[in-house]
């Protein structure tokens, strides 16, 4: 399998090989995250910022990857985490059960989790009933 990232202009996304399949990153998301990461690097004392690239090009994806590498190293060196991918409304609610109404007017209940790594993201942890087998006496 090829490990080359490709651009799908019709769907406006990058197609990224991952394991036995693929994952995707939208052009807009890539551009937005690149700008947010670059701003975060500068605000935390980082020096090198890769040059701007036209949105939707493979060079733009490479810039995003380079910015991620710079931010990762900065987090490691400063013993901090980059918080730009956290949902502002959920900060401080980690471990709590919440009910939210999203932009599509759908209501969901979940426990707020947070991923690990240099750039954590909030997670929706669904609760489920655990099946326990009856004891031998039952």
Closest C-alpha among 15, 67, 61 to residue 36: 67
Q: Is-contact 99 112, C-beta < 8 A?
A: no
What is the C-alpha to C-alpha distance for residues 132 and 134, in angstroms, rounded to an integer? Answer: 6
Q: What is the pTM of this model?
A: 0.82
What is the C-alpha to C-alpha distance for residues 133 and 107, in angstroms, rounded to an integer? Answer: 32
Question: Number of H helices and number of E strands within the chain?
Answer: 2, 6
The tokens describing 126, both together, are 């669904």
Q: Tens of pLDDT along 39-81?
A: 999 999 998 888 999 999 999 999 999 999 999 999 999 999 9
């Amino acid at each position: 399998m090829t490990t080359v990232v490709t651009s799908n202009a019709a769907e406006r996304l990058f197609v990224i090989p991952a394991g036995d399949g693929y994952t995707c990153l939208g052009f807009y998301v890539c551009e937005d995250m690149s700008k947010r990461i670059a701003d975060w690097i500068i605000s935390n004392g980082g020096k090198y910022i890769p040059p701007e690239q036209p949105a939707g090009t493979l060079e733009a994806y490479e810039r995003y990857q380079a910015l991620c590498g710079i931010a990762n190293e900065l987090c490691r060196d400063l013993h901090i985490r980059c918080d730009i991918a956290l949902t502002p409304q959920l900060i401080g609610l980690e471990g709590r059960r919440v009910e939210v109404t999203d932009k599509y007017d759908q209501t969901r209940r979940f426990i707020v989790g947070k991923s690990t790594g240099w750039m954590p993201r909030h997670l929706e942890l669904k609760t489920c009933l655990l099946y326990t087998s009856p004891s031998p006496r039952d």
